[in-house]
Structure 1
Amino acid sequence: MKDALTDTSHLTEDAAKFASSIAFSDIPEDTLHIAKRCMIDGLGVMLAGTEQEAMEVADRYLTTTGAKPVARLVGNQTLKASPQQAAFWNGLAGHVMDWDDTQVAEGPNRPYGLLTHPTVPPLSAVLALAEVSEGVSGKEFLTSFVAGVEVESKIAEAINPDHYNLGFHTSGTIGTFGSAAAAARLLGLDLGQTAQALGGAASMAAGIRANFGTMGKPMHVARSSENGVTSALLVSEGFTFNAAALDGKWGYLSVAGRGGEPELVQGRFGNPFSLSEPGVSIKPYPCGVLTHPSMDTMKALMVEHNLRPEDIEKVTLFASNNILHPIRFRVAKTELEGKFCMAFLLSSIILTGRAGKAEFTDAFVQSPDCQAMQLRVETQYDPDIAAMGHDKILSRIEVVTKSGQVLKKFSDDRYRGGPNNPLSDAEVEQKFMDCVAGILPNERARQVLDMIWSLEDVESAASILDCVNG
């Protein structure tokens, strides 16, 4: 194994060394705190996601596959599955509402200045394996999660931005490396085994943006969670993979990304941790971060001018193609389409002043008021905004009222939830409470929050699921 690691690979070896050797004491206090915030957020959106239609399909799918029922599923009190399938369920639930956090890019020319959804794949993996691995303490759970997020984030930073621009869904592809690293760390795999687990992840990392707006998009994250666990478990049983599969010959960076810049991150795993620098964005809305500044701008206009829905004659959003191309549905007919429809997203703010769990439903999207309001909202390409850079999530909104007023407002580059304008701990907790409303009693929800804030003192990480599932 030593020869294989020192032959052609650098990035794979760096990642494997880091994931296999990191100790709890290596994680700075600020990184631990952010990791706990991400766990709270990740668990919350998983529980909220269990109410979505895709999870009913997943329940039927897992019920009929006949795997050994050993691992509990987040938010499902009646079904057990294999660790791999539990990771699939957790990953699907965590991304089905598109409400999970986002990694902020360090390098230039990254789309929107963002890279991947870092939390759900490694969190799904460690939740699934904590059920079947004996003696996993809260410290081990936290350490494995942080290891997975760090490996995922650094690989996402290294790969050529063409990976996403040409159609790969990074959370499905690069997320596989995060779940594999987290699973390898939790299973106690050594350096060589961890490198091979990353090699297996490279062969299973997939997901294309053509499936955005369907159940296929969250399925990418479900598979990234499942495949990372599968790769680590296979290696633990003696299965072999290429230990130089990231930037070695025919490695993932060259095959799926037209190359990349591994030198940007080599020697920098945990130095600093990406959770702390450049940081993560915890989403206030269950849709893509690139839409959030526009939604906040619409809300500000409504409040500043005391507007009511019936006052609105027309709304035009001016933006660059970095927003307009992926947000591609003119009028949303379903909740899934609504995540990629600016007319719906702004209509939700106009009609209710919110865009949360209650609004992201087929019933609300298809309501007569919502369908009518969407027809009043248009988008328009703005070359001046485009000239400000593809990595900027900028827009301006122009509202024409029925009385003839023309109201204009430019979005704030410091989008809410991002590292430069983060949600407070109290706001993160409130988002969790909103996510679990109707799912967990308030007292039990509070117990989950308290447990995660003090996770290093928890004797058995499986007690998280005891509390979550009741």
Structure 2
Amino acid sequence: MTASARLSEFVVKTALDDCPRSGLVQVRRAALDTLGVMLAGAREPAARIVREVARAEGATPVCTVVGTRLRTAPTWAALANGVAGHAHDFDDTSFALMGHPSVPLLATALACAEAEMADGRAVALAYVVGFEVSAALGAALNPGHYQRGWHATSTLGTLGCAAAAARGLSLDLAQTRHALGLAASLASGLKENFGSMTKPYHAGHAARNGVLAAALAREGFTASDSALDGPQGYVTAFGEAASLGAALDGLGQRWHLVETGVAVKPYPSCALTHSSIDALIDLRRRHALRPEQIAAIEVGVTRVTAGVLVYPAPATALERKFSMQFCAAAAVVDGRLDFASFEDGDVRDPAIRALMPKVTMVVDDTLSERLAEHAWSRVTVRLTDGRVLTTPPRGATGHPDRPLSVEALYQKFLACASTAIPNEEAAAIAEQLDHLEEIPDIRALTSRLAGDVE
């Protein structure tokens, strides 16, 4: 049986009740976090540009573009919501995927559910099968796939979104195989574009192409059954996957939603900066650190991290999200990183500008390169009085082993949502998402997601 056929069996035959209850809790948490960052991202330039093009296309007004009054075709809504959700780089991550699962998957699931006038269970199930497919592929192909330069949010996420859309549009086994095969040819996304608008585009790209692949397959469009694992197929082109068979065998037996989970971000920057941000905020608090006391900051990181955080002197807000020098300096000076830290233009705070050259990032070969630990870091701060402060390697706040509390996640959602909709609407959305599977018509949720962002 080909990989496409095995994946299709899982996508078509899985029921929501097959997923462990703890996995469904993760789905609801992911939906709350994801819709919050979509609302917050609606005002960002990348999201605005996509909406302008969607309006110019004049597509049929079927689906909600979150945070706005725009309604458009499912593919355009998936693209627009995907870009908005990733615009702040504040959305969750999966260490199996080595990327961002929930924004593209929720953008896909909501577009399909609105188009089909489906219920909340359909959204939850589409998310579950899409998450498991993308995480299984990630577990098989990573870290080599990611280290080759591919942005897994898009390259692996396109397959996950095609799986989600296939389930959301009620495709049969044959149609689902064709959708996955077509998605294999639509998958793309380069890490070289990190620090630009194209990075958040990748999340929308995955969602849009997942919906497109499923919609075409439903109408009879075909693809090769061996598009994934054939000699000139997806796996060969995107990396070696000796463990592909084991990863696919585990579908429906092990659940990545439960075993590897997602990391919810406390800071709107690349997840690979978060361990060091946590450490420096902690040192600042415990030792009452002031910037003028610091002679040097050394951050030991994995090779994966060193290859991603490539902007020691960032020139834009988007580049700052991938700058260890900026994030470390801001953590010491401000004791926080939030939306205000990434307003566009030059770094204005002279204290941050002065501290950034004192921050160095080095590869620490003692750190684990395991998927669950590749984002860890070790921080050493040398003070002008000769003292040396260090922190042990650890996962950041929000890591599956250190999850955000229910209250912290709720407060993050409110802070994000309030940028586009009234607080009372945000609170009502949170209440609905706490019972996502019980929503009889998803339009009862999406109607609340329409805001006044142009």
Given the two structures, how large is their TM-score scaled by the length of structure 2? 0.93
What is the CA distance between 1:369 and its match in structure 2? 4.0
Partner residue, 1:128: 111
What SS does structure 2 have at the residue aligned with 1:380? strand
Tell me, yes or no, if the aligned pair for 1:148 and 1:182 is still in contact at 8 Å.
Answer: yes
Cα distance between partner residues in 1 of 2:353 and 2:83: 28
The reply to whether residue 116 of structure 1 matches residue 99 of structure 2 is yes
- 1:379 partner amino acid: M
Cα distance between partner residues in 2 of 1:128 and 1:344: 37
Q: Which of 309, 320, 323 is matched with 2:305 structurally? A: 323
What SS does structure 2 have at the residue aligned with 1:359? helix
What SS does structure 2 have at the residue aligned with 1:325? helix
What is the CA distance between 1:157 and its match in structure 2? 1.4
Q: Among all aligned residue pairs of Structure 1 and Structure 2, give the percentage whose two residues are the same amino acid.
A: 36
Tell me, yes or no, if the aligned pair for 2:315 and 2:346 is still in contact at 8 Å.
Answer: no
Q: 1:459 to 1:320 in 2, by over 3 A?
A: closer
Partner residue, 2:286: 304
What SS does structure 1 have at the residue aligned with 2:298? strand
- 1:92 partner amino acid: V
Q: 1:21 to 1:394 in 2, by over 3 A?
A: closer
Tell me, yes or no, if the aligned pair for 1:294 and 1:411 is still in contact at 8 Å.
Answer: no
Cα distance between partner residues in 1 of 2:443 and 2:225: 31
Partner residue, 1:104: 95
Cα distance between partner residues in 1 of 2:143 and 2:233: 16
Q: How does 1:28-427 map to 2 (within 5 A)?
A: 28-77=20-69, 79-105=70-96, 115-134=98-117, 136-159=118-141, 161-363=143-345, 365-381=347-363, 385-391=364-370, 392=373, 393-402=375-384, 404-427=385-408
Cα distance between partner residues in 2 of 1:149 and 1:200: 18
Cα distance between partner residues in 2 of 1:341 and 1:167: 18
Partner residue, 1:464: 445
What is the CA distance between 1:434 and its match in structure 2? 2.0
Q: Deviations over 1:383-428 (max 9, x none)?
A: xx313432343433333445x2433222442332112111122221
What SS does structure 2 have at the residue aligned with 1:316? strand
What is the CA distance between 1:214 and its match in structure 2? 0.7
Tell me, yes or no, if the aligned pair for 1:160 and 1:253 is still in contact at 8 Å.
Answer: no
- 1:420 partner amino acid: D
RMSD: 1.9
Q: Which runs of 5+ in 2 are unaligned?
A: none
Cα distance between partner residues in 2 of 1:447 and 1:189: 33
Partner residue, 1:109: none
What is the CA distance between 1:145 and its match in structure 2? 1.4
- 1:390 partner amino acid: E
What is the CA distance between 1:297 and its match in structure 2? 0.7
What is the CA distance between 1:48 and its match in structure 2? 1.4
What is the CA distance between 1:174 and its match in structure 2? 0.6
Tell me, yes or no, if the aligned pair for 1:160 and 1:261 is still in contact at 8 Å.
Answer: no
What SS does structure 1 have at the residue aligned with 2:415? helix
Q: Which runs of 5+ in 1 are unaligned?
A: 1-5, 106-113
What SS does structure 1 have at the residue aligned with 2:310? coil
What is the CA distance between 1:131 and its match in structure 2? 2.1
- 1:358 partner amino acid: A
- 1:243 partner amino acid: D
More divergent stretch after superposition (159-168 vs 364-373): 364-373
- 1:413 partner amino acid: R
Tell me, yes or no, if the aligned pair for 2:147 and 2:304 is still in contact at 8 Å.
Answer: no
- 1:389 partner amino acid: S
